[in-house]
Structure 1
């Protein structure tokens, strides 16, 4: 007979509440990081547009870094120019998939940061494609960061690349969205003890 003064349901309530609060914090951090990345990307592009002419180059830390203002109709790092609308659809699909299906599954901070950065970077370039010239869905992305012997890119590209590196490392180490290791046997709450018998 169980003489506990607190029913089992009440005993389990606190851990569940803490878990729910942690999940909400992770989702909030993911969304905030995405918003910061989007704002930084759009602000820097706005500064470039208002202070430079297309094709203009300004030395920052020569010869390592310079601003070189171009408009890119392709993907990240000026790849695939001429297929703007395809990249618009792909970026919109990626953003929706991450926001709707992945963010709610996050249980560990590394995934929260990686997906937040990815969402913000994708949203930054998608904003250009949707609302910049020449037309809706075919807008050209503003690129301006130039390194020696490297493609010209922007702040959104930086967030995307850094986030993808983080995601690749998480996948390589087998860390899943809920923090578990891929391939590990997860406990079955239906089993009672170690005898393998299901709880009636």
Structure 2
């Protein structure tokens, strides 16, 4: 009896990777935001690594680069959609790389969504806590960001790389699928 690796009857072991990455990164995001709010509220930026990095508390009502500042509720809906989509894909995962990438994106979406839901000024309007500014303080050269933002960017980059390499979330190679489809036509 052989087991087909693409069979839907296999346990979603890759989903464990997704969940583990998401939980670890989400905890890191929440803990760093709690620490930043507790220590940097009302303080000037803290210079680190010779000025390469500055830590400072910024409450962001919008997205990166101060886009969609008045559209916090739309950003919340987008985050919820991302979370639902990733949970829907989770049982179909057969790729560890995709599981890690999606876990990073999931953690980032949940981290920033939790700020939008639970922080002032109110539910679905809360401001995201950002605290890392690179190359200069006050977003002088690059937007201030947080662990969740970094997770979204890294997860998205990994997913794009896997897609470019022809690796699909279900563990199959898109190049192999294309060749198989051509052969059967």
Deviation at 1:27, TM superposition (A): 0.7
Runs of 4+ in 1 over 4 A off after TM superposition: 19-23
Deviation at 1:130, TM superposition (A): 0.6
Corresponding position of 1:126: 113
Distance verdict in 2 for CA 1:160–1:104, change over 3 Å:
same
Task: Provide the C-alpha distance between the structure 1 equivalents of 2:178 and 2:99, rounded to a whole number of angstroms.
Answer: 21
Task: Provide the C-alpha distance between the structure 1 equivalents of 2:11 and 2:102, rounded to a whole number of angstroms.
Answer: 14
- Cα deviation per residue 1:129-178 (whole Å; 9 max; x = unaligned)? 01111000110000000101211000000000000001111112221112
Corresponding position of 1:83: 71
Corresponding position of 1:184: 178
Task: Provide the C-alpha distance between the structure 2 equivalents of 1:47 and 1:76, rounded to a whole number of angstroms.
Answer: 22
CA contact (8 A) 1:60 1:66 kept: yes
> TM-score, normalized by length of structure 1?
0.80
Task: Provide the C-alpha distance between the structure 1 equivalents of 2:173 and 2:109, rounded to a whole number of angstroms.
Answer: 27
Corresponding position of 1:117: 104
Q: 1:47 aligns with which of 7, 32, 35?
A: 35
CA contact (8 A) 1:72 1:140 kept: yes
Deviation at 1:62, TM superposition (A): 2.5
CA contact (8 A) 1:33 1:116 kept: yes
Does 1:135 pair with 2:128?
Answer: no
Deviation at 1:42, TM superposition (A): 0.6
Task: Provide the C-alpha distance between the structure 2 equivalents of 1:96 and 1:45, rounded to a whole number of angstroms.
Answer: 24
CA contact (8 A) 1:55 1:70 kept: no
Deviation at 1:63, TM superposition (A): 1.2
Task: Provide the C-alpha distance between the structure 2 equivalents of 1:22 and 1:62, rounded to a whole number of angstroms.
Answer: 51
Root-mean-square deviation (CA, aligned residues, Å) is 2.4
How many residues align structurally? 176
Larger Rg: 1
CA contact (8 A) 1:72 1:142 kept: yes
Corresponding position of 1:174: 166
Q: 2:50 aligns with which of 38, 62, 70?
A: 62
> TM-score, normalized by length of structure 2?
0.86
Task: Provide the C-alpha distance between the structure 2 equivalents of 1:180 and 1:24, rounded to a whole number of angstroms.
Answer: 15
Task: Provide the C-alpha distance between the structure 2 equivalents of 1:49 and 1:21, rounded to a whole number of angstroms.
Answer: 46
Task: Provide the C-alpha distance between the structure 2 equivalents of 1:84 and 1:164, rounded to a whole number of angstroms.
Answer: 21
